[in-house]
């Protein structure tokens, strides 16, 4: 490495910002830090679920230039074209080149609606803020049709290869609550169809039972293990020959890597193959892939934070000569919004090696596997929606320092009372 190691971080999302700000916190001026992003703003993606119900997309943005400058992180605006691990070089689309001693690839995931025939043409999809505005248009049309005495049919769809179905579960619950508040719920048919073998499959039986009960209480017709193969006007077709009709289709498309790195090992969907404990890319110990760019099967913000923390601590240990003591421990925490209440889940996960069910709840984790539902958990959701952008705006990591310790105490206190 250089006398003062050059660490380049690719990406502008949760894993990228958490890792770069934590490295600066831990190593101070012992490293040169550069962040490359194709956007000058961070988007707090978990709160895009509120856009269909009137939230302003601009309220979810955090400008990157000021906090990066405050932490003496060089900001390069641009798209990644290539990584050459032999030359330790990143090439950008405009021809610029950056040399590195350590490289953190956190360019995240994208969606590929085109993998399901007809999905692009006939569905409103959820992923970007722009797409969520399209969902808002659908919901307003559904409400207006219901007010006019029609009975619109809304189908929510999770196709194969989606890596994080949770946000669509939130949106279907929120829609049901919103329609009740708009006094048109009885005129709208809501159906849920997912490829998962159980509801929110990755997070285990307690979440499945909770969603089953919520769907029954809310009059949502839920179905699992349905493999969609084609979407036609007003009809979804499945691998077993069955069909489902709809007037409006809301879908969360399959996931792929946002950037393909031809010189690095990846799976068939472009996700970089990594060491589970350190997030180092296989065969390339100076390259890391935290968050959605890597091959951990569940793509979720809190897990991205944990992976980014591991990467920052591993690089810090190598730079400072300290022992590495922070391997990635996949314990997910999330709050699922429903508008009238919310659900908190803390789920210790482990890899299974089975491509059909790649993760499961850790056996024997009963005490750490917590699920609870209450209107008070909406406060927890609001706390996260406020604190993460605030920390990044200040150039601070979210999952470290006094602010996180206080939030952690608060969440654990709420969980002790409202979850079991």
Are residues 227 and 275 located together in one domain of the fold? no
Helix axes 301-320, 14-27, angle to 10 degrees: 30
CA distance 151 to 102: 57
Q: What is the pLDDT of residue 408?
A: 73
- Tens-digit pLDDT profile for residues 295-340: 999 999 999 999 999 999 999 999 999 999 999 999 999 999 999 9
Q: What is the pLDDT of residue 294?
A: 98
Per-residue confidence at 64, pLDDT binned at 50, 70, 90?
very high
Q: Are 238 and 229 in contact (CB under 8 A)?
A: yes
Going 390 to 395 to 397 to 401, the CA torsion angle's sign is negative
Within a domain: 364: yes
Q: Which residues does 392 contact at the CB level (< 8 Å), separation at least 6? A: 17, 21, 42, 62, 67, 398
Of 214, 229, 254, which closes a domain?
A: 254
Each residue's pLDDT tens digit, 98-147 = 999 999 999 999 999 999 999 999 999 999 999 999 999 999 999 999 99
- The pLDDT, as a whole number, for residue 272 is 98
395 shares a domain with 311 = yes
Give me the pLDDT at residue 420, please: 82
Q: What is the structure's pLDDT at 2? A: 57
* Pairing relationship of beta strands 6-10 and 32-37 according to DSSP bridges: parallel
pLDDT for 1 beyond 60: no
Q: What is the mean pLDDT of the chain?
A: 95
Question: Given this model, what pLDDT does residue 372 score?
Answer: 94
What phi and psi values does residue 11 have, to the nearest 5 degrees? 130, 165
Helix segments in 73-204, DSSP class H: 119-122, 129-147, 166-181
In this prediction, residue 415 carries a pLDDT of 75
The answer to whether residue 10 scores a pLDDT higher than 70 is yes
Please report whether residue 201 resides in a domain. Answer: yes
Residues 277 and 391 in one domain: yes
> Do residue 132 and residue 218 come from a single domain?
yes
DSSP state, residue 11: -
Q: Do 28 and 97 fall into the same domain?
A: yes
Let me know if residue 1 belongs to a domain: no
CA distance 311 to 272: 15
Q: Which residues contact 232 (CB under 8 A, 6 or more apart)?
A: 118, 122
Asked which of 117-126, 143-152, 234-243, 406-415 is least confident by mean pLDDT, the reply is 406-415
pLDDT of residue 223: 98
The residue from 254, 289, 312 where one domain ends is 254
263 lies in the same domain as 384: yes
- The total number of structural domains in the chain stands at 2
* Predicted local distance difference test score (pLDDT) of residue 138: 98
Question: What does the pLDDT read at residue 328?
Answer: 98
Instruction: With beta carbons less than 8 A apart as the criterion, state whether 63 and 74 touch.
Output: no
The residue range of the domain holding 200 is 114-254
Percent of the chain with pLDDT over 90: 91
Q: What is the pLDDT of residue 167?
A: 97
Q: Are residues 249 and 265 in the same domain?
A: no
Domain boundary among 206, 221, 254: 254
Q: Tell me the C-alpha distance between 64 and 253, whole Å.
A: 28
Question: Is the pLDDT assigned to residue 8 strictly greater than 90?
Answer: yes
Residues 392 and 263 reside in one and the same domain: yes
């Amino acid at each position: 490495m250089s006398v003062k190691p050059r660490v380049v971080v690719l990406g502008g999302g949760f894993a990228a910002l958490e890792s770069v700000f934590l490295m600066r916190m831990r190593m101070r001026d012992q490293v040169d830090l550069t962040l490359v992003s194709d956007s000058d703003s961070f988007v707090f993606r978990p709160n895009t679920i509120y856009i269909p119900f009137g939230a302003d997309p601009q309220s979810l943005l955090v400008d990157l230039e000021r906090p990066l400058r405050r932490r003496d992180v060089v900001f390069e605006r641009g798209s990644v074209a290539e990584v050459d691990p032999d030359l330790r070089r990143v090439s950008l689309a405009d021809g610029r080149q950056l040399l590195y001693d350590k490289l953190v690839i956190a360019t995240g995931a994208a969606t590929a609606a085109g993998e399901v025939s007809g999905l692009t043409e006939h569905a409103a999809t959820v992923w970007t803020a722009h797409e969520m505005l399209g969902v808002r248009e659908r919901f307003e049309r559904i409400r207006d049709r219901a007010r006019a005495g029609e009975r619109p049919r809304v189908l929510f769809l999770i196709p194969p290869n989606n890596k994080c179905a949770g946000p669509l579960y939130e949106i279907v619950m929120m829609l049901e609550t919103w329609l009740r508040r708009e006094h048109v719920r009885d005129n709208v048919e809501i159906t849920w169809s997912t490829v998962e073998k159980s509801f929110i499959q990755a997070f285990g039986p307690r979440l499945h039972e909770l969603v089953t009960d919520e769907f029954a209480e809310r009059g949502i017709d839920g179905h699992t293990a349905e493999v969609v193969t084609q979407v036609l006007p007003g009809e979804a077709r499945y691998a077993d020959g069955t069909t489902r009709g709809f007037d409006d289709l809301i879908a969360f498309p399959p996931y792929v890597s946002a950037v393909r790195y031809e010189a690095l090992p990846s799976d068939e969907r472009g996700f970089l193959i990594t060491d589970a404990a350190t997030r180092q890319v296989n065969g390339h110990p100076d390259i890391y892939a935290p968050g959605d760019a890597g091959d951990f099967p569940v793509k979720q913000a809190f897990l991205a934070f944990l992976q980014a923390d591991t990467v920052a601590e591993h690089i810090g240990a190598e730079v400072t000569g300290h022992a590495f003591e922070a391997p990635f421990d996949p314990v997910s925490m999330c709050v699922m919004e429903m508008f009238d209440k919310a659900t908190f889940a803390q789920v210790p996960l482990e890899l299974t090696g089975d491509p059909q069910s790649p993760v499961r709840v850790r056996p024997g984790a009963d005490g750490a596997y917590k699920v609870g539902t209450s209107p008070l958990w909406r406060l927890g959701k609001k706390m996260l929606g406020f604190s993460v952008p605030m920390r990044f705006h200040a150039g601070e990591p979210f999952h470290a320092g006094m602010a996180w310790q206080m939030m952690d105490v608060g969440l654990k206190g709420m969980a002790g009372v409202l979850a079991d």
